[in-house]
Amino acid sequence: MTIGFIGDIVGKPGRDIIAEYLPNLKSEFGIDFVIANYENASHGFGLSVKNADELFGCGIDMMTGGNHSFDKKEIISLFDTHSIIRPLNYPLAMPGSGILRATILDRQVAVVNLMGHYAMPMVDNPFTVIIEAIHQLQLEEINHIIIDMHAEATSEKQVLLHLLKDKVSAILGTHTHIGTDDLSIIERCCYVTDVGLSGCRDGVIGMDAKAPIKRFLTGIGEYFDVPKHCKSILQIIVFTLDDNGCCKEAKKIKQYDNGERIITEAFKEIDN
């Protein structure tokens, strides 16, 4: 099976470029299932019902969240009506689930959303929580396990890799909005520290540059705003899993709004 993973979708520019290019990308690369991170999809903060319907209508099959999952309270109803999850290590009393189980090409697949600790809301320990979750999925004989690790610290994402690289199919980092160049296949696992945003590429983390510039010059914060007009980019990881859930091929596609495209193949770590 071939999976596509889109990182943080930031506002209308992110939604627009996905609508324009994702259907063709799915067809061209034979993508069977698309996962995307929704937490910045509605003007940079959270997800509305209208925008959820828009994104699913573009060819996204399910969506993961993060620290902005609950910025818009209508997300609570979406957990019951759409294939949407939030970080697994939120307190148990929080609405929604942190794992989605799906059948893709007759195989059981689990998508897990996890959130780091550093500079994040107070949540349970992501590492102890995920160990227990993986054990349960193994008891269910689910070998195709994909994790969205939504974290600020690169070290947390790398620790997760070394903790689970022989147990899961993919660990895909989100949250920083800045794509990293370390896409790799290590043991059975597709890994990248951060996929990078889909949205404005000529601002600061998908937002208009004025507010962050003022904050760094003066220390005075202002509301971060998604520009109405900008140069945009769609960033997607496309990876192929075998019948045992092992990653065999992976690539990153950067699709620019001017039609240009850059494709980077994953580095394969081969044990000697």
68 an active-site residue? yes
Domain containing 182 — which CATH number?
3.60.21.10
Closest CA to 199 of 268, 245, 254, 259: 254
Look at the pTM and tell me if it is higher than 0.85.
yes
d(CA 158, CA 199): 25
d(CA 206, CA 13): 9
Q: How confident is the model at residue 271 (pLDDT cuts 50, 70, 90)?
A: low
Closest CA to 111 of 144, 82, 81, 80: 144
Active-site residue identified among 43, 68, 117, 229: 68
Question: Largest Cα–Cα distance of the chain, in whole Å?
Answer: 56
Domain count, the chain: 1
229 in Cβ contact with 201 (< 8 Å): no
Other Cβ atoms closer than 10 A to 239: 27
Q: Give 265-269's long-range contacts (Cβ < 8 A, gap of 24+).
A: 266/183, 266/184, 266/185, 266/190, 266/239, 267/182, 267/183, 267/184, 267/185, 268/184, 268/185, 269/184, 269/185, 269/186, 269/187
Range of the domain at 159: 2-269
pLDDT digits (tens, 9 = 90+) for 110-136: 999 999 999 999 999 999 999 999 999
pLDDT digits (tens, 9 = 90+) for 144-153: 999 999 999 9
Other Cβ atoms closer than 10 A to 131: 14
d(CA 193, CA 148): 10
